[in-house]
Amino acid sequence: ARMGRTLVELYYDVISPYSWLAFEVLCRYRHIWNIDLRFRPAFLGGIMQQTGNKPPAMLPKRGEYMLKDMKRMAKYYQVPVHMSADDFQRIMGTSSLTAMRFITAMDMTNPQYLEPLSREFWMRFWSQHEDISQPESILAVAQQAGLSAELSQKTLEMVSSPPVKDRLKETTAEALKHGAFGMPAVVAHYDGKPHLFFGSDRLELLGSVIGE
Position 207 pLDDT exceeds 80: yes
User: pLDDT, tens digit, for every residue of 76-99?
Assistant: 999 999 999 888 888 888 999 999
- Domains of the chain, with CATH numbers? 6-205 (3.40.30.10)
Position 58 pLDDT exceeds 90: no
Which residues are 8's β-sheet partners? 37, 188
Position 1 pLDDT exceeds 50: no
- Is 16 one of the catalytic residues? yes
Say how many C-beta atoms besides its own lie within 10 A of residue 12's C-beta: 27
Give pLDDT, residue 85.
Answer: 87
User: pLDDT, tens digit, for every residue of 147-204?
Assistant: 999 999 999 999 999 999 999 999 999 999 999 999 999 999 999 999 999 999 999 9
Q: Check if the beta carbon of residue 183 is closer than 8 Å to that of residue 201.
A: no
Helix H, strand E, coil C: the string for the chain is: CCCCCEEEEEEECCCCHHHHHHHHHHHHHCCCCCEEEEEEECCHHHHHHHHCCCCHHHCHHHHHHHHHHHHHHHHHHCCCCCCCCHHHHHHHCCCCHHHHHHHHHHHHHCHHHHHHHHHHHHHHHHHCCCCCCCHHHHHHHHHHCCCCHHHHHHHHHHCCCHHHHHHHHHHHHHHHHCCCCCCCEEEEEECCEEEEEECCCCHHHHHHHCCC
Contacts of residue 98, defined as CB under 8 A and 6 or more positions apart, other chains included, come to 133, 135, 138, 159
Rounded Cα distance, 100 and 116, in Å: 14
Q: Report the residue count for the chain.
A: 212
**Which is the catalytic residue, given 16, 96, 118, 152?**
16
